[in-house]
Chain A
């Protein structure tokens, strides 16, 4: 029997795209192009082409699943349309109830990490023990060696889960520290104003 007439030529990376789709469904953390290439036993360039194909297919509003680039890799997530339904069914244990102290500690670790609890305490002016413990428990930060001095303190850094929860491709996506907060000169001027007001 003759083969049926094909009007549209199949994309050469179609098969690879299906394999990558399957790998991303199985994975519970973002996978980099290199990891996908190794698992699919193919080269990175073709994998990236296949990922482009998948991204078109899984763009928001076209499917309940969205392919996103996050935490240095690729992962599937639910479409934003389905967020309410998801919220009715599931809890968000990682970010639920993050205190101001925990957020400040998280910011310090994200910008200055790996850094130790004493360093966090020096910047914040108060002990950071419980905030650090809470962030470790949530999986947003993790231990990353010790300071070099004898009996050095434990250092912490953020995890890929942190990037995923905050929707960051990498830590480089954080705003520049210089763009945040008040200018040092302005603070100095205000301090001097307060000091002179008291003296008079």
Chain B
């Protein structure tokens, strides 16, 4: 019911608003075309495809109330309106209305007479021809400015650098030399502090260099915990490494440590 939109002569909008206007006496019931409302409702119901009994019932009640309101408003209202007036005033009002209608009736008669007099006037009837489309005129341009604009377009664009797309690996030997030189000066160092300023690729190559050194037994790697700094120290000798295994660790611990250090690298 709330979504029923009406497009009547006297009113355009939702049904709810129509009822509000009628109840507030802002709209005359006699001006409302009830048949058109019923037609709108039936069309609306047909569009929805399902019969909402509750909505239909509500509509019937509202429309019958509206019809009664209109029926009451059509005759007794008019009589009451005139009835409230004094006989003199009522006669005055009636005379005014009659005179207004009489004037219009006379005007209609004048039109009819005029029409009869114009029967021999024949002219062309038809839809007005279409107006031509407005021409789009361009503003005057300086040829030199146009040429320079075209010239700008003709300049080849700068070549796009693809350098970032190719990975450049520095040689592993570069880091082998660097770490060996470092261990020559110091007994141990942290991997992170040494490669901190390098690119990711360089850091990866540095790690490979470490693994190479570890494989050759030149260094020892240790890490306190996962993601903790990797500490690199110079290997005493291959022999001493074996000794340390025998002294403090089980073979399993040693294996774990080796695996750990290797994998964490």
Secondary structure at chain B's binding surface: helix, strand, loop or mixed? Answer: helix
**A12: Cβ under 8 A from any B Cβ:** no
User: Are B129 and A116 in touch, CB under 8 angstroms?
Assistant: no
Q: Is the CB of A180 within 8 A of B99?
A: no
Q: How far is the CA of A177 from the CA of B101 in the complex (A)?
A: 11
In the complex, which residues of chain A have a beta carbon less than 8 angstroms from the beta carbon of B119? 83
Interface residues of B in 1-54 (CB under 8 A from A): 9-13, 17-18, 21, 26-28, 30-31, 33
Pairwise interchain contact B110-A27, C-beta atoms closer than 8 A? no
The answer to the question of B96 belonging to the interface, with a C-beta cut-off of 8 Å to chain A, is yes
Is A150's CB under 8 angstroms from B128's CB? no
Inter-subunit contact B101/A100 (CB<8 Å): no
- The reply to whether A103 and B129 contact each other, CB–CB distance below 8 Å, is no
CA gap between A84 and B119 in the complex, in Å: 10
Contacts of A151 in B (CB 8 A): 10-13, 17-18, 21, 27
Which A161-188 residues sit within 8 Å CB-CB of chain B?
A: 161, 164-167, 174-175, 177, 180-185, 187-188
A27 to B126, CA, bound (A): 9
Question: Which residues of chain A are within 8 angstroms of B102 by Cβ–Cβ distance?
Answer: 181-182, 187
CA A121 – CA B98 in complex, angstroms?
13
How far apart are the CA atoms of A100 and B111 in the complex, in Å? Answer: 11
Question: Which of B87-95, B145-153, B158-166 forms contacts with chain A?
Answer: B87-95
Inside 8 A of A107's CB, which chain B residues have their CB?
Answer: 104-105, 107-108, 110-111
Closest to B18 in A: A151
User: Which residues of A sit under 8 angstroms from B11, Cβ to Cβ?
Assistant: 151-153
Q: For B108, what are the chain A residues with a Cβ–Cβ distance below 8 Å?
A: 100, 103-104, 106-107
**Would you call A117 and B9 a contact (CB within 8 A)?**
yes
Closest to A120 in B: B104
Can you list, as one digit per residue, whether each of B116-135 has a CB less than 8 Å from chain A (1) or not (0)? 01111111111111000000
A177 to B103, CA, bound (A): 7
Contact status A153-B107, CB under 8 Å: no
Q: In the complex the two chains form, what is the Cα distance from A84 to B61 in whole Å?
A: 60
Instruction: Decide: B92 and A75 in contact? CB cutoff 8 A.
Output: no
Q: CB distance B121 to A116 under 8 Å?
A: no
With most chain A CB atoms within 10 A of its CB, the pick from B18, B96, B125 is B125
Any A CB within 8 A of the CB of B112: yes
Q: Is A165 a contact of B115 with CB atoms below 8 Å? A: yes
Residue of A nearest to B94 (CB): A191
Q: Which residues of B contact A69 (CB under 8 A)?
A: none
Instruction: Check if A75 sits within 8 Å of B123, measured CB to CB.
Output: yes
Q: Which residues of B contact A125 (CB under 8 A)?
A: 101
Given contacts A124-B104, A181-B103, contact A191 B9 (CB under 8 A): no
Contact A195 B112, beta carbon cutoff 8 Å: no
A111 CA / B101 CA spacing, docked (Å): 12
Residues of chain A having any CB pair with chain B under 8 Å? 26-29, 75-78, 80, 82-84, 86-87, 90, 94-95, 98, 100, 103-104, 106-108, 110-111, 116-118, 121, 123-125, 129, 146, 149-154, 161, 164-167, 174-175, 177, 180-185, 187-188, 191-192, 195
Which of B's residues lie within 8 Å of A, judged by CB?
A: 9-13, 17-18, 21, 26-28, 30-31, 33, 87, 91-92, 94-112, 114-115, 117-129
6 closest A-B pairs by CB: A83-B120, A181-B103, A107-B107, A151-B11, A180-B106, A188-B95
List 12 A-B pairs, Cβ < 8 Å. Answer: A28-B125, A83-B121, A87-B122, A106-B111, A117-B10, A123-B101, A124-B101, A129-B33, A146-B12, A152-B12, A166-B115, A188-B95
